[in-house]
Amino acid sequence: MDNGIYLIPEIVGKYPKPRGNKKLLKQSNGTYLPDDFGHELLLVVQEKDGLVVFTGCSHNGIVNMIETVESRFQGETIKAVFGGFYLMSPPTKKMTEKREEVLRIGRLLNDKGHLMKVFTGHCTGKLAYDILKLTK
């Protein structure tokens, strides 16, 4: 788009998707099947000083989503990411990933170096958020 706003429908799948996805289903031809989250989108706003990424709940995995943006906008800085990381089940408020996996996600994001600000949403969860802060 010419106005610096992009919707990205195809998300790379190099890293595992959140474990909590296993309990989420979609209906197809009257049957319930595991949701593959092929409908999930990324919104990217391209500004003069970098990219702002909006992810929703990141059912495809936050690291996969960041890598998708990096591959589409090579050499540009991602200055901010807004969205949930789906590390907690909203109905139960329990973390769906093991602590080691949350730490790994935090390290992978920190290793990117160009991420300036990360704003997580409701489905990240307080415990996962606190663990992610340990990787700073």
pLDDT of residue 114: 66
Mean pLDDT of 109-128: 85
DSSP letters, 39-61, are T--EEEEEETTEEEEE-TT-TT-
pTM of the model: 0.90
DSSP letters, 17-34, are PPGGGGG-EEEETTEEEE
Rounded to an integer, what distance in angstroms lies between the CA atom of residue 63 and that of residue 28? 28
Mean pLDDT of 100-129: 87
Enter the DSSP assignment of 79.
E
Rounded to an integer, what distance in angstroms lies between the CA atom of residue 112 and that of residue 52? 15
Number of neighbours of residue 43 by Cβ within 10 angstroms: 15
Helix (H, G, I), strand (E, B) or coil at 63: helix
Domain 5-133, CATH:
3.60.15.10
Tell me the average pLDDT of the chain.
91
**Confidence class of residue 122 from pLDDT cuts 50, 70 and 90?**
confident
Q: Are 120 and 132 in contact (CB under 8 A)?
A: yes
Nearest to 25 by CA among 16, 17, 35, 15: 35
DSSP letters, 98-109, are -HHHHHHHHHHH
Q: Are 135 and 103 in contact (CB under 8 A)?
A: yes
